Amino acid sequence: MTDAAHEARAVGLRMYEAFNGRDLAALETILAPDFVSHPLGTAGIGAVADAWSRMFAAHPGIRVTVEDMLVDRDRVAVRSLLRGLSDSVPGGADPAPTMMEIFRVRHGLIAELWGLSGLGRPAG
């Protein structure tokens, strides 16, 4: 794996660790100042912090479990599961919604993200 691929993988893992740790301040060291979220239709770090804060308020136990991470130079594709949702079955017996994200890394920071999730969709 190239240095750029190692760097891309590391920043991707830091993003999910920050989410799971509710560490909004870490976004400054993970996202580029001109970060673009295509799913949210927003730009900037503040928009992500706001979106995460809303998710934490709606689902206090939410966390992301990375299942697969594929890296190709500056691109990272991640398949993850969303766990700890406030509307989940006790004991976690329900199927966890899947999230698919692709992001582009520039100078060690995530510059752009695309993604889809099954959050809010019926399982099946």
What pLDDT score does 85 carry?
A: 84
What pLDDT score does 11 carry?
A: 97
Per-residue pLDDT tens listing for the chain (124 residues): 688 889 999 999 999 999 999 999 999 999 999 999 999 899 999 999 999 999 999 999 999 999 999 999 999 999 999 998 866 555 554 568 899 999 999 999 999 999 987 765 444 3
What pLDDT score does 123 carry?
A: 41
What pLDDT score does 25 carry?
A: 98
Q: For residue 46, is it left (φ>0), alpha (ψ between -120 and 50) or beta? A: alpha
Percent of residues in the chain assigned helix, strand, coil, to nearest 5: 35, 35, 30
